[in-house]
Amino acid sequence: MTDPNNELIVELKDKINRLVQQYQSLRSEVQLLEDEKSRLTSQLELASQEYNNLEQRFNNLKITKDLVSGSTEASDTKKRISQIVREIDKCIALLNR
């Protein structure tokens, strides 16, 4: 006859082995998810930068169009140019500190 304690020990070892395997599996899955998160974060940052660049180009084109066409929205364009000049002045003041 087999000792009941030995059977319990064997069962316990089996359960521990399964838990270790599950842990390793979950650990590798977490690593994959973290890698994908990093990749997606990088993609999002690149897309955001591209969006900002395109928005700036669009605004510049709109200002240029308004200046060339002499449209009635010239006052808006002049306000925008004044705002840009103020921003440049602020940057220069910060650089001089």
Could you give the C-alpha distances from 33 to 26, 28, 36, 42, 89, in angstroms and in order? 10, 9, 5, 14, 45
Look at residue 96 and tell me if it is in a domain.
no
Structural domain harbouring 33:
4-71
Predicted confidence (pLDDT) at residue 77 exceeds the cutoff of 80: no
Mean pLDDT of 39-49: 94
| Tokens encoding 28 | 């590798």
Helix axes 4-69, 74-96, angle to 10 degrees: 120
72 — pLDDT class (breaks 50, 70, 90): low
Look at residue 37 and tell me if it is in a domain.
yes
Tell me the per-residue pLDDT of 55-70, one tens digit each, with 9 for 90 and over: 999 988 887 877 777 6
Q: What are phi and psi of 57, to 5 degrees?
A: -60, -40
* Total structural domains within the chain: 1
CA–CA gap between residue 61 and residue 63 (Å, rounded): 5
